[in-house]
């Protein structure tokens, strides 16, 4: 990937595959892969779960905002964004100014299956995660749908989704 190649931001709900797909996409494009949660954890010296527990969600959202505004290179990156990052007011517009925004989608059932075992996501550490997923999806989907590119992932291989994203981004870069 050349220096001036636009960043690609992967957004979408927890468990839709942003990290796995982003890693593969970055590899194929010879770009650098960054995960916003990991970048924030490194900067804070705490896990996402610890930030939520010790300082609350608002502080974590502030970390996300700083990551977008000043915390990552302006080009040559594939960035997997935490599920709530693009949902904060004004953030999607900022991402679109900085690069191509690709939204990944999966069904409630797939999301539930993929997130069930991982206890590192504070928003889903609740008595009824299915209900929480449904409510958050309802609230967030209209925002996710405003991305430059929307991709359904259910029943598709990582490779299939990556090729889809590559074609869509090539068309946007040309
Ligand atoms: C969140 C998603 C998580 C992480 C945090 C909050 C959200 O990232 O940023 O737990 O609000 O959807 P992933 O989407 O990578 O799981």
Q: Pocket of ligand 1, candidates 14, 133, 134: which has the most ligand atoms within 8 Å of its Cβ, to mutate?
A: 14
How far, in Å, from the CA of 74 to the mean position of ligand 1?
22
Please report whether residue 100 resides in a domain. Answer: yes
Ligand 1 atom at minimal distance to the Cα of residue 16: 14
**Structural domains counted in the chain:** 1
Do 88 and 61 form a contact (C-beta atoms < 8 A)?
A: yes
CATH number, position 96: 3.40.50.300
Please report whether residue 120 resides in a domain. Answer: yes
Distance CA 112, CA 145 (A): 20
Distance CA 41, CA 64 (A): 11
Please report whether residue 101 resides in a domain. Answer: yes
- Picking from 83, 76, 84, the residue whose alpha carbon sits closest to that of residue 100 is 76
Q: For 37-47, how does the pLDDT look when each residue is reduced to its tens digit (9 = 90+)?
A: 999 999 999 99
Q: For 35-89, how does the pLDDT look when each residue is reduced to its tens digit (9 = 90+)?
A: 999 999 999 999 999 999 999 999 999 999 999 999 999 999 999 999 999 999 9
pTM value?
0.96
Residues 6+ apart with CB under 8 A from 126: 132
Domain residues for the domain of 137 are: 7-173
How far, in Å, from the CA of 78 to the mean position of ligand 1?
17
Ligand 1 atom at minimal distance to the Cα of residue 140: 12
Q: For residue 66, give the 3-state DSSP assignment.
A: helix
């Amino acid at each position: 990937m050349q220096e001036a190649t636009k960043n690609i931001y992967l957004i979408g709900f927890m468990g839709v595959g942003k990290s796995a797909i982003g890693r593969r996409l970055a590899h194929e494009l010879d770009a650098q892969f960054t995960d916003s949660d990991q970048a924030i954890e490194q900067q804070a010296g705490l896990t996402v779960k610890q930030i939520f527990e010790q300082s609350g969600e608002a502080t974590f959202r502030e970390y996300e905002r700083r990551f977008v505004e000043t915390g990552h290179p302006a080009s040559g990156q594939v960035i997997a964004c935490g599920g709530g990052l693009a949902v904060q007011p004004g953030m999607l517009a900022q991402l679109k100014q900085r690069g191509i925004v690709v939204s990944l989608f999966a069904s409630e059932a797939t999301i539930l299956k993929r997130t069930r075992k991982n206890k590192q996501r504070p928003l889903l550490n609740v008595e009824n995660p299915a209900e929480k997923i449904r409510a958050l999806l309802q609230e967030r989907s209209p925002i996710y749908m405003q991305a430059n590119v929307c991709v359904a992932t259910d029943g598709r291989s990582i490779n299939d989704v990556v090729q889809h994203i590559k074609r869509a981004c090539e068309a946007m870069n040309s």
